[in-house]
Amino acid sequence: MWLKVVLLVLFCLMIVGAVHFAEPREPEQRSSSAEDIHSLRLLTWNIGYAELEDDTRAHDKDLPAVAELILRQEPDAVALQELTGNAQLKVLLGLLNGKYRGAVAQQGNGDRFEAVLVKDIEAKFIPIAAGGRFALGASFQPGSDKHEILLLSAHADAFNAAQRRIYTEALIDWAQSRAQSSEVFIAGDFNFELKAANQTNLYTDNVKHDSESYSHILRYFRDLGRAAGDTAINDRRIDYIFGPAKLKQTGRVEVLRDAAVGRMDHWPLLVEVEL
């Protein structure tokens, strides 16, 4: 009898302990915002469609919505991915009423392009070769600020983790070489699959490649958008904005979850930093 009483008391203690140590549920909205900082505002957005569609690149009919968001948020620079080409970029720039200049990256083996849009009319656009693909950089000065900013628009392979790694290493090597003379930011869709808990494999090369690619970036840059949460459907955080490790302060960091139109599977990530 005494044994059962002791066990019953212990059982109740365990229940009380579990309730006492239970952590409050985090709110589902994972975007975070801090005080407004107006030094530099960056936006990255993969405006293509999910892979189940016939044409997964950006659709012209969505460009007015993309332009409307850019005009509303007024970033100093925008990194876009999965455009169909220069012609589509020109349409978008027209919808932005000339407030932005832009360029697309060189065509690699694929059929889609990265682009960078910048407010600064004296911005320079720099093509970057990275592991068989091409990224695009834009060098500019935001407002009257004397800081030289270099924003790279990147899009790593969606299907091959080893290729993502090669691309990331080449991109970071290039970015590092410029980091002495400019504040370098890297924005785009890296397709890192780092949530191993949801996968059925205990360990795969793919997860390791993505882990080491991501960790390699973090040796030199900060993941500015981490607090904002998932950036694509299916609970994936695959769009990033990386910035210098020595930034003074980050302000607003937000995934704009009501911005996607059509069959887009990504949401824009917006980051404000003080240099």
Given strand 77-83, what is the order of strands in its sheet? 101-104, 113-118, 77-83, 40-46, 269-274, 249-255
Contacts with other proteins, 225-254, as mask; x by CB under 8 A: -x----------------------------
Closest CB to other proteins among 97 and 198?
198
The residue from 32, 73, 86, 211 that contacts other proteins (CB under 8 A) is: 211
Q: Does 177 bind other proteins (CB under 8 A)?
A: no
State which of positions 81-120 bind other proteins (CB under 8 A): none
Helical packing angle, 161-178 and 205-218, nearest 10°: 10
- Out of 82, 157, 189, 210, the only residue in the binding site for other proteins (CB under 8 A) is 210
Quote the strand ranges of 55-147, DSSP E.
77-83, 101-104, 113-118, 124-130, 133-140
Site stretch for other proteins (CB under 8 A), options 2-10, 54-62, 141-149, 179-187? 2-10
Amino acid (1-letter code) at residue 107: Q
**Size of residue set near other proteins by CB under 8 A:** 39
Where b means 16+ CB within 10 Å and e means fewer, 54-79 reads: eebbbbeebbebbbebbeebebbbbb
Torsion of CA 209, 152, 262, 85, to 10 degrees: -110
Report the residue number, 18 or 52, with the smaller CB distance to other proteins.
18
Residue (74 or 205) nearer to other proteins, CB: 205
Residue type, 77: A
Q: Of 171, 163, 194, which is closest to residue 79 (Cα–Cα)?
A: 171
Give the interface segment with other proteins, choosing from 27-35, 60-68, 100-108, 211-219 (CB under 8 A): 211-219
Residue 141-170 contact track with other proteins, rule CB under 8 A, x = bound: ---------------------x--xx--x-
Q: In Å, how far are 58, 135, 136 from 250, measured between CA atoms?
A: 30, 25, 24
CB 95 within 8 A of CB 63: yes
What minimum distance in Å lies between the beta carbon of 16 and other proteins? 8
Contact positions toward other proteins, by CB under 8 A?
Answer: 3-4, 7-8, 10-11, 14-18, 20-23, 162, 165-166, 169, 194-198, 200, 202-203, 207-208, 210-212, 214-216, 218-219, 223, 226
